[in-house]
A = this chain, B = another copy of it.
């Protein structure tokens, strides 16, 4: 299910464009620049909107890289406009588009680590389910919630995107 879930992450990242469009519409209607959303926070000591977007991008990108062994593009966290954040999202989507199911055949048994784990490791399977997915959706939901709580007109359909519904 690795590949299918990365395809879903790709879909969710693409949905953020819909939210960003709604943010621009809201900003224009209320007479301010949409880039003002970048500094919004749900709590003074929580990450800003811009940082949440960067992290959701990095979570998907790093998970795909760690579970496949394919190097990920490097991003410098220097975005100061909504358009620059869009480009960040698009770069990660383009990166995810390179993968096929084959790239993840050994994902479950890979040994994953990162600096903050101080030499400890997780299996690819545990890392994906316990760390990558919950973090991805955490930051994605915060991106959405930050716009929603600031009056941007987005709804659950904009969050989920089109579903693979079949007619009877």
Contacts and interface: CB of A to CB of B under 8 A. Distances in A.
Given A121-B166, A121-B168, A148-B42, A8 B160 contact: no
15 contacts: A1-B1, A4-B125, A8-B129, A8-B134, A46-B149, A120-B168, A121-B166, A123-B166, A130-B161, A130-B164, A131-B163, A137-B137, A138-B156, A138-B159, A142-B145
A126 B160 contact: no
Interface residues of A, number: 44
* Copies of the protein in its oligomer: 2
Interface in A113-168: 117, 119-123, 125-126, 129-131, 133-135, 137-138, 140-142, 144-145, 148-149, 151, 156, 159-161, 163-168
A149 B43 contact: yes
A133 B129 CA distance: 11
A18 interface: no
A12 interface: yes
A152 B42 CA distance: 12
Contact of A129 (B5, B120, B145, B151): B5
A157 to B, nearest CB: 11
A43 B156 CA distance: 14
B43 A165 contact: no
Interface in A78-134: 117, 119-123, 125-126, 129-131, 133-134
Contact of A165 (B122, B125, B141): B122
